[in-house]
A = this chain, B = another copy of it.
Amino acid sequence: MSQKIKEFREYRTMMNKRLLATDNLIIKRIFNLDTNTYTDGALSSTTKEMLGLVSSMVLRCDDCVKYHLEKCFEQGVTKPEILEIFAVANLVGGTIVIPHTRRALEFWEELESTIEK
């Protein structure tokens, strides 16, 4: 696994643990909701992860983008599909999304390279 992916995951895991350890009930429930929202329902989990990805892009949150890229990758979303999600995000959100798209593509290609090796 690439160093970038590793660091991203480790920091997230560590800080989530520390956040949940604070025992703030509202934060716990938001984390819980976050998990439940993306499960299969009327829409498939895959479609929902794509919705999460495009939302994260137009709101320009790099870490959220990476998170949903990982999920999309696990669910078998293809690169041409990912690029069409990027296209919608850049159209709706504007060129302000381009720098996030560069970082998103880099992260996606690192995810792909983890299985090629």
Q: Which A residues contact B (CB, under 8 angstroms)?
A: 11-12, 15-16, 18-19, 22, 24-27, 29-31, 33-34, 36-38, 41-43, 47-48, 50-52, 54-56, 58-64, 78-81, 83-99, 101-103, 105-106, 109
Partner pick for A105 among B15, B47, B61, B102, CB 8 A cutoff? B15
Q: How far is the CA of A89 from the CA of B89 in the complex (A)?
A: 14
Q: Does B24 contact A109, Cβ atoms closer than 8 Å?
A: no
Q: Does A85 contact B51, Cβ atoms closer than 8 Å?
A: yes
Q: With A15-B106, A102-B11, A105-B15 as given contacts, are A86 and B33 in contact (CB-CB < 8 Å)?
A: no
Which residues of the partner chain B approach A33 to less than 8 Å between Cβ atoms? 26, 29-30, 33, 91
